[in-house]
Chain A
Amino acid sequence: MEIGLTHYLVLSTILFAIGLVGVMRRKNLLLLFFATEILLNAVNVAFAAISHYYGDMTGQMFAFFVIAIAASEVAVGLGLLIVWYKRHGSIDLDALATMKG
């Protein structure tokens, strides 16, 4: 069986779905960040595949930018996480609900 574009796209979609489920289910802030990384990487896979399919560089460029952005997101996110942990000693999501209504 030849691996075609469709397969990549399906893989990407599945990864994205996994990421979504993770985003919804994870109660640990760090794991939540991982889930968002999965989302972005799912997209990267697809971009690379499509780029190859079209023989066009743009998709790969996009993928690179996504990687860069993901990296900076991690930087900012981890920064926030560390501050939060310092203050509360926990990175549990449910503790993060002082504001509501």
Chain B
Amino acid sequence: METYLYIALFAPLVGSLFSALFTATPKKLFTGIVGSLLIFTSLVSSTILLMYILKGGEPVHVTMMTWMATGDLYIPFGFVVDQISVTMMMVVTLVSTVVHIYSIGYMDHDKGFNRFFAWLSAFVFSMMILVMSDNYAGLFIGWEGVGLCSWGLIGFWYHKESATWAASEAFIMNRIADLGMLIGLFLVYWNTGTLQYDGAFAAFHTLDISTLTWIGIFLFIGAMGKSAQFPLHTWLADAMEGPTPVSALIHAATMVTAGVYLVIRSHELYSLIPHVGLFIASLGAFVALFAASMALVNRDMKRIIAYSTLSQLGYMFVAAGLGAYWVALFHLMAHAFFKAALFLGAGNVMHAMDDELDPFKMGGLRKKMKWTWIMMGLASLALSGIFPFAGFFSKDAILEAAFVGNHTALHVMEHHYIIYAVLLFTAGLTAFYSFRLVALIFHGEERFKLFGFHPHEAAKIMLLAIAPLVILAIIAGAFQTTFFEMVQEALNAVEYHVHSQIVVWIMTIGTQVFAISMIIFAYVKYNNSRVSVPDGTSRLENSFIYKLLFNQYYIPHFYAEYIVKPYREISEIFWTKVDLKIVDATVDGIAGIIYGTGEKTRQMQSGNLSTMLTWMVAGLVGLLSLAVVFGLTARYSDEILLFLSALGV
């Protein structure tokens, strides 16, 4: 099994390095093919490992070599394949295989074809390290590695200012969170003496709650950045500047879920601190609603999907925060399938529309792009949580979990009705914006003609590549039980019980009805001939709410005005005012004073003999007067002391 582990891990690296050799040369098709094959190898190995684990095999644990060792610190390159990581490995390798193959078609005409595959495979490698590591430091390697690859891929079209800006933003925002994560790591090390999961988890039980709380908070700050939780969420929407396969792989299926993975991986920690868990869940619920609301009015196809991703990540955090780790993981997996499919479908549309992103400029594309329409429609149904698609099972489980409340620790059943209500409402919104998008793109008038587009169906390879994802999005729900059985040991998962079967039915059916009615509402509103490209004149567009949502609650604006700009200005002040005018000027000033004193006092050397002689005599007189003063003081020292004491000195 170790061999498979290494193959699964290093095949993407090999692929990346291979492609990297050709970065400076013109497009070579074989880089894409080799890259895809190697990722596929990785997928196969992961599948073998999955089978092994499913059969009840012991987790595979290997230590490759020492990385850092100094003092008491010992960090190896160690990898573990257990129920959690194998799930993640499957998700990662599967989606990335699909994306790789899809990209061969999608990036066909791009100059940076080889470079793209180098970055993409490198990303997969980093992600594999992240999920397979057996310690926090290794996780951090992958953590930063995916950040790096994300930077490279968002800014892939580096000639575009917006792309490079978004890349930097993503990287820096992630760095902010990484600092939190790093501090979390330090806390873990200094309190448990190790960064290995095993050792640290065992030691957590002996620590006091406040320490654990701090660890939990700092680690979660790390997770917030990667998973783009409020207030570090702005980068995700901007990250859509990258090529669409990247958005599918990184910003939907894998990297952004790393935060969820971290929480799940540290479930032994978070089970001990349910109050932090509650906070996570609350934040998750908030983000779910918050992001969905922004998706309602947005006019950028990819951004809508990105907000949807954000919203779904909120769902996962609710589950993870409430202790339903397996549910979170399950939703993570299901979400990866349908969201990646959705993105890739959007990629097809972009291809067809010459990279146009505004769905209002499309419409009626279903005739031209039948397969894309079908696949995106199915994926949207899954996203909306319609039975029997994958989304139904996973999202429903989250809603139930929220309803039932935290049940891992303390055995106190707390119902979180507010969270539940928010999630339920968000589910409706999700259905609405998903089908608003579908309706705008594929139905209604063929508005694209006004803009002179000539859409066409995507290449076969691209369609074929999406197919497995769509299939999985449809059927993944069927594996719920298997999945539960597999991970329950690793995650202390428990079945939870809603009070009565009837409540469950009411809830389920209610949710379904709500979602379906929202879908219909979306169709009614957007599948008609009155839909036109908004020009900023309609009443809706001038309403406060619309503006608020359209401008993403003015948060990016706030960041730009009150963080980025002041930072630049303060930097400028630090340089021109503080560094040059104060610190450096002081140094030069001291030198200047010495030099200036020399320049001024050199008059003393007038060259006139009389003056020179006078100086000598003056020196003598000075010495003499000092002598006299001193001599008198010495002679009359008693009297002086007496006098001084009389004065009271």
The answer to A–B direct touch (Cβ < 8 A) is: yes
Interface of A toward B, CB cutoff 8 Å = 20, 23-27, 32, 93-94, 96-101
**29 A-B interface contacts by CB (under 8 A):** A20-B617, A20-B620, A23-B613, A23-B617, A24-B610, A24-B613, A24-B614, A24-B617, A25-B610, A26-B610, A27-B610, A32-B609, A93-B608, A93-B609, A93-B610, A94-B608, A94-B610, A96-B608, A96-B609, A97-B606, A97-B607, A97-B609, A99-B607, A100-B605, A100-B606, A100-B607, A101-B602, A101-B605, A101-B607
Chain A residues whose C-beta falls within 8 Å of the C-beta of B607 in the assembled complex = 97-101
Smallest beta-carbon distance B610→chain A, Å = 6
Smallest beta-carbon distance A31→chain B, Å = 12
Which 9 A/B pairs are nearest by Cβ-Cβ distance? A100-B607, A97-B607, A97-B608, A24-B614, A93-B609, A23-B613, A101-B602, A99-B607, A96-B609
Chain B residues whose C-beta falls within 8 Å of the C-beta of A24 in the assembled complex = 610, 613-614, 617
Chain A residues whose C-beta falls within 8 Å of the C-beta of B602 in the assembled complex = 101
Q: How large is the interface on B (under 10, 10 to 19, 20 to 34, 35 or more residues)?
A: 10 to 19
Question: Which of B599-625 touch A at CB < 8 Å?
Answer: 602, 605-610, 613-614, 617, 620
Chain A residues whose C-beta falls within 8 Å of the C-beta of B606 in the assembled complex = 97, 100
Smallest beta-carbon distance A90→chain B, Å = 13
Smallest beta-carbon distance B15→chain A, Å = 76
Smallest beta-carbon distance A8→chain B, Å = 20
**In whole angstroms, what is the CA distance A99 to B605 when docked?**
9
Question: Which of B572-606 touch A at CB < 8 Å?
Answer: 602, 605-606
Interface of B toward A, CB cutoff 8 Å = 602, 605-610, 613-614, 617, 620
**In whole angstroms, what is the CA distance A99 to B602 when docked?**
12
Smallest beta-carbon distance B315→chain A, Å = 84
Chain B, residue nearest A97 (CB)? B607
Chain B residues whose C-beta falls within 8 Å of the C-beta of A23 in the assembled complex = 613, 617
Chain A residues whose C-beta falls within 8 Å of the C-beta of B609 in the assembled complex = 32, 93, 96-97
Smallest beta-carbon distance A93→chain B, Å = 5
**In whole angstroms, what is the CA distance A25 to B610 when docked?**
7
- 8 more contacts with CB within 8 A, not counting A98-B607, A99-B607, are A24-B614, A25-B610, A26-B610, A93-B608, A94-B608, A100-B606, A100-B607, A101-B605
Chain B residues whose C-beta falls within 8 Å of the C-beta of A99 in the assembled complex = 607
**In whole angstroms, what is the CA distance A27 to B606 when docked?**
15
Chain A, residue nearest B606 (CB)? A100
Chain B residues whose C-beta falls within 8 Å of the C-beta of A93 in the assembled complex = 608-610
**In whole angstroms, what is the CA distance A24 to B620 when docked?**
13
**In whole angstroms, what is the CA distance A81 to B606 when docked?**
21
Smallest beta-carbon distance B53→chain A, Å = 91
Chain A residues whose C-beta falls within 8 Å of the C-beta of B613 in the assembled complex = 23-24
**In whole angstroms, what is the CA distance A96 to B151 when docked?**
78
Chain B, residue nearest A29 (CB)? B609
Chain A, residue nearest B607 (CB)? A100
Smallest beta-carbon distance A72→chain B, Å = 21
Chain A residues whose C-beta falls within 8 Å of the C-beta of B605 in the assembled complex = 100-101
Chain A residues whose C-beta falls within 8 Å of the C-beta of B617 in the assembled complex = 20, 23-24
Chain A, residue nearest B610 (CB)? A93
Chain B residues whose C-beta falls within 8 Å of the C-beta of A27 in the assembled complex = 610
**In whole angstroms, what is the CA distance A33 to B387 when docked?**
124
Smallest beta-carbon distance A73→chain B, Å = 15
Smallest beta-carbon distance A41→chain B, Å = 18
Chain B residues whose C-beta falls within 8 Å of the C-beta of A94 in the assembled complex = 608, 610
**In whole angstroms, what is the CA distance A51 to B609 when docked?**
35
**In whole angstroms, what is the CA distance A96 to B611 when docked?**
11
Smallest beta-carbon distance B97→chain A, Å = 84
Chain A, residue nearest B614 (CB)? A24
Smallest beta-carbon distance B210→chain A, Å = 73
Smallest beta-carbon distance A7→chain B, Å = 21
**In whole angstroms, what is the CA distance A100 to B603 when docked?**
8
Smallest beta-carbon distance A94→chain B, Å = 6
**In whole angstroms, what is the CA distance A11 to B474 when docked?**
127
**In whole angstroms, what is the CA distance A26 to B608 when docked?**
12
**In whole angstroms, what is the CA distance A94 to B613 when docked?**
13
Chain A residues whose C-beta falls within 8 Å of the C-beta of B614 in the assembled complex = 24
Chain B, residue nearest A93 (CB)? B609
Chain A residues whose C-beta falls within 8 Å of the C-beta of B610 in the assembled complex = 24-27, 93-94
Smallest beta-carbon distance B620→chain A, Å = 8
Chain B residues whose C-beta falls within 8 Å of the C-beta of A100 in the assembled complex = 605-608
Chain B residues whose C-beta falls within 8 Å of the C-beta of A97 in the assembled complex = 606-609
Smallest beta-carbon distance B605→chain A, Å = 6
Chain B, residue nearest A21 (CB)? B617
**In whole angstroms, what is the CA distance A100 to B607 when docked?**
4
